[in-house]
Every structure is written in structure tokens, then in C-alpha cells.
Amino acid sequence: MGTVAELKPIENEGPSDPYASGVTDGHSARTEGGALTLYLQVGIDDYARGFRAGFFGQMDLRTAEQR
């Protein structure tokens, strides 16, 4: 017979580090009057998503944890 692997659920402990960094950078860019690059406008990674959330003031972390 084969071996049996135990699968453990992934526990979400909040937003990822890149997302949190993006939120901080996005908030700073908004307060300094910065502009969004193409990558920050359409990027789908955690950093770009966090940056947009911080830049546009949409920091609902409950939604980020569900993704």
C-alpha cells in the first residue's frame, strides 16, 4: 500500500507581508501626491493590491484575508 499524508488547513493570520508593505507605501504615496505606475495600476500580486488599497484608502483587511 501507499503512504497516507495528513493535510492541514492553512490558517490565515492576516494580510501577507508584501500586502502590508504595499498598503503602507500606497498611503505614503497618496499623502505625498505620488502617481501610480502601470505596474501598480494593474498588478495582481499582493504588493500591488496592497498599494492600491493604501493609495485609494480602501484598507478593509477582512476582505484581504478572505482572498
List, for residues 4-49, the tens digit of each pLDDT value.
767 666 666 778 899 999 999 999 999 999 888 999 999 999 999 9
3-state DSSP helix/strand/coil % of the chain, to nearest 5: 55, 0, 45
Torsion of CA 46, 28, 60, 57, to 10 degrees: -120
**pLDDT tens digit string along 46-63?**
999 999 999 998 755 555
What grid cell was written down for 51? 498599494
- pLDDT at residue 43, as a whole number: 92
Rounded Cα distance between 43 and 9, Å, is 28
